[in-house]
Structures are given as structure tokens and as C-alpha cells.
Structure 1
Amino acid sequence: MASTEECREALEQFGRNLAGAQGDAAKAAALDRSVSCHLTDLDLTFTGRLRGGRITDIVEQPGPPATKADIRLTMAGDDLVAMVGGRLGFASAWASGRVRLEAGFRDLLRLRTLL
């Protein structure tokens, strides 16, 4: 099982990856939305802000998200680390139910280029 620190580092790496995005991915990353990532195995939620192609203001809190973010991810910590590390594709993880993504329809259309 991935540790809290490994998951935090994976989210920070994902933010760095977004900052280097090009083309359509850069446009999708330019959203200004609240983000939450609930890690079911750790019963922990990271929240932050996707703004200007970066995830900023990352805060860790126990349990499920206290408020409903614009973009909500739910998964196990190992899956987060594997996705960011390139060992697990988002599409296959989502299709198999290992990852859940909730967002408004317009955001989902824009986010598909990132995932």
C-alpha cells in the first residue's frame, strides 16, 4: 500500500506534468477548478486548486472530502502512484472501476485530453 507521502509526491508530480503540457493538454490544464482526490485505502483526501496548468494549495485531510470539489477523483493510493508513474493507464483503470472521476460535463470533455 502506498504511503501518504508517496501519494502526496504523486500529486505534486502530476502537477509538474500538467505544467509541462503542450497543445490540447495545455488548454485542458488551464482550467480554474477545485480538485479533490480521495484515497480509499488510506481514508484520506487531498484537495487543491487546478489553476494555470498547476495544482496548487494541496491540503491533506482525513476521511472523504468535506466539500464537493469541481473535479473529484476516488481511487486507492497504489493506483494514484501507478498512474502518475506511467504503469497504469487512466482509461483502463476507469473502465475497470479502479478509478472514479466526477466532474461537470464540460470539464469532462476538456479533461479527456489530459487522461
Structure 2
Amino acid sequence: MATIQECRDALDRLSGNLARADGGVRGAAALDRSLSCHITDLDQTFTGRLEDGRIRVDAVAAGPPAQKAEIRLAMAGDDLVAMVAGELNFAKAWASGRVKLEAGFRDLLRLKSLL
């Protein structure tokens, strides 16, 4: 099972990957939205923002998200680490229910290019 630090490191790597992306991926990540990522097996939630093509983590707290973020992710820590490492395909994990992504319809349309 991934640790909370490994999950934090994975989010930092994902942020770096988004910042270095170009074309459609960079455009899709250029939203300015509140973000939460609930690590279900650790019952911890990272909260922050997706802005300027980067993920900024502001806090981590026990339990599910206390407030409803505009973009909400939920998954096991191992799945987060595997996705960022390129070992797990996000679209397949999302389609199978291993990863949950909730956002407004327009945001989902923009984020689909990240899948």
C-alpha cells in the first residue's frame, strides 16, 4: 500500500508533467479550479487547486473532502502512484471504477484530452 508521502510525491510529479506538457494537454490543464484527491485506502484527502497547468496542494486531511471541490478525484494510493508512473491507464481505471472523477460537464470535456 502506498504511503501518504508517496501519494504526495505522485501528485507533485503529475503537476510537473502537466507543466511540461504542450498542445492540447497543456490547454486542458490550464483550468483554474479547486481540486480534491481522496486516497480511499488511506482515508486522506489532498486539497488544493489546478491552476496555470499545475496542481498546487494546499492541505491534506483525514477523511473524505470536507468541502466539494470543482474537480474531485478518488482512488487508492497504489492506483495514483501507478498512474503517474505510467503503469496504469487513467481512462481504463476510470471506466472500471478504480478511479472516480467528478467535475462539471464543461470541465470533463476539457479534461478528457488528459485521458
Q: Return the TM-score normalized by structure 1.
A: 0.97
Structure 2: which amino acid aligns with 1:28?
A: A
Identity among equivalent positions (%) equals 68
Cα distance in 2 for residues equivalent to 1:71 and 1:86 = 22
Offset at 1:59?
Answer: 1.2
Task: Report the TM-score, using the length of structure 2 for normalisation.
Answer: 0.97
Residue in structure 2 matched with residue 8 of structure 1 by the alignment: 8
Gaps spanning 5+ residues in structure 1: where? none
Give the whole-Å Cα distance in 1 for the aligned partners of 2:62 and 2:78. Answer: 17
Deviations 1:56-88 (A, max 9, x none): 143111100000000000100000000000000
Following TM superposition, the consecutive aligned residue runs of length 4 or more in structure 1 with deviations greater than 6 angstroms are: none
Aligned residues: 115
Indicate the residue corresponding to 1:35 in structure 2: 35
**Uncovered stretches (5+) of structure 2, i.e. residues with no partner:** none
Aligned to 2:17: 17
Cα RMSD (Å) of the superposition?
0.7
Instruction: Give the whole-Å Cα distance in 1 for the aligned partners of 2:99 and 2:29.
Output: 19
